[in-house]
Amino acid sequence: MLQFLLRRLTVAVLVAVTVMTLAFVLTRLSGDLAISIAGPNATQADVEVVRKAYGLDRPMVTQFLDWVGRALTGDFGDSYFFKAPVSSLIAERMPVTLTLGLTGLVIALVVSLPLGILAAVRENTALDRVVQLVALIGQAMPSFWLGLLLMITFGLQLGWLPISGTGSWQNYVMPGIVLAFSAIPALTRLTRAGMIQSMGSDYIRTARAKGLSRASILLKHALRNAAIPVVAIAAVQLGFMLGGSIVIEQVFALHGVGFLAWESIGKNDFPVVQAVVLVLAVIYVALTTLADLMNAVLDPRLRGP
């Protein structure tokens, strides 16, 4: 188990380092930063002043090492646009994104696990096909469109939920549902496939031969083995929701990290962009590592001999 843990953590750190390098290099490939910071009316002399002031005249490697060194201590420099430390900008907005992502994941799991199990138990019946059709529709529906539909129905016509802002928990209901919708199809189908495979296995025949209750057969013996791929994908989906909620944050005017990234890209605020990419990547890596650890708990064979 310890060896497994060390191996997973080493891989996680390597991935994080790679992402850090890419984030740094890619922001610099998008053009001369000094020119864009100085603005459209700047003279050549102004640009040179900016270049010197921001340390952009130094060799790339020096700039990189400098950034990495400070990033490790949590210092991502100052935003060019907001004139505030990047770390506090992100810290301010992270709770919104985390709340949104977790809400989305919880809704997605609450919907897709029972649906997947039900579809598997009733394999090849009308119910199974309805579930699969719903999953297909969910997959095909663009999230901004679903977001607008919900806003019109529950926000404007029925007036049950607020349509924008982050004032209370109610603000997270609709965006959470929209985010969940992107994850539900994959999770449902994976649960269904896993359960079907599990239910057809020899150990389920044994469980039935032991006279166990239906609930125990389904939820203890079958689901535990079916859950392994679901956990892995759920972690990836959560990472996706945290990093990819830009559209949803826009639609519902939630000022989360996705919104911040979108603003900063438009304004060439590259310290912010770099930091957001890095933070999201680290969260992503942490999530997949966590999923691997959870799977090792679920399936003892993954822990090694």
Partner 1 sequence: MSTLLEVDRLEVSFGGRTAAVRGASLAVERGETHCLVGESGCGKSVTALAVMNLLARGARRQAERLAFEGQDLLGLSDSGMARLRGNRMAMIFQEPMTSLNPAYTVGSQMTEVLRRHRGASQRIATDRAADLLARVGITAPGLRLGQFPHQLSGGLRQRVMIAMALMCEPRLLIADEPTTALDVTVQAQILRLLAQLQRDLGLGMLLITHDLGIVARVAHRVSVMYAGEVVESAATAELFARPRHPYTQGLLRCVPVPGRIRRDEPLGSIPGTVPRVMPGFEGCAFRERCDFADETCSGTIPRHAAGPAHEFLCRLPA
Which residues form the interface with partner 1 (CB under 8 A)? Answer: 201-203, 205-214, 216, 221, 224-225, 298-301, 305
To the nearest whole angstrom, how small is the minimum distance from the Cβ of residue 228 to partner 1? 9
**CB-nearer residue toward partner 1: 134 or 212:** 212
**Is residue 161 within 8 Å of residue 174, measured between CB atoms?**
yes
To the nearest whole angstrom, how small is the minimum distance from the Cβ of residue 231 to partner 1? 13
The residue type found at 201 is: S
**CB-nearer residue toward partner 1: 72 or 209:** 209
CA dist., res. 241 & res. 182, Å (int): 9
To the nearest whole angstrom, how small is the minimum distance from the Cβ of residue 3 to partner 1? 16
**CB-nearer residue toward partner 1: 20 or 227:** 227
> Helix/strand/coil (H, E, C) string of the chain?
CHHHHHHHHHHHHHHHHHHHHHHHHHHHHCCCHHHHHHCCCCCHHHHHHHHHHCCCCCCHHHHHHHHHHHHHCCCCCECCCCCCEHHHHHHHHHHHHHHHHHHHHHHHHHHHHHHHHHHHHCCCCHHHHHHHHHHHHHHHCCHHHHHHHHHHHHHHHCCCCCCCCCCCHHHHHHHHHHHHHHHHHHHHHHHHHHHHHHHCCHHHHHHHHCCCCHHHHHHHHHHHHHHHHHHHHHHHHHHHHHHCCHHHHHHCCCCCHHHHHHHHHHCCCHHHHHHHHHHHHHHHHHHHHHHHHHHHHHCHHHHCC
To the nearest whole angstrom, how small is the minimum distance from the Cβ of residue 214 to partner 1? 8
**CB-nearer residue toward partner 1: 269 or 292:** 292
**CB-nearer residue toward partner 1: 267 or 303:** 303
**CB-nearer residue toward partner 1: 83 or 301:** 301
To the nearest whole angstrom, how small is the minimum distance from the Cβ of residue 198 to partner 1? 10
**CB-nearer residue toward partner 1: 98 or 298:** 298
To the nearest whole angstrom, how small is the minimum distance from the Cβ of residue 210 to partner 1? 4
To the nearest whole angstrom, how small is the minimum distance from the Cβ of residue 230 to partner 1? 14
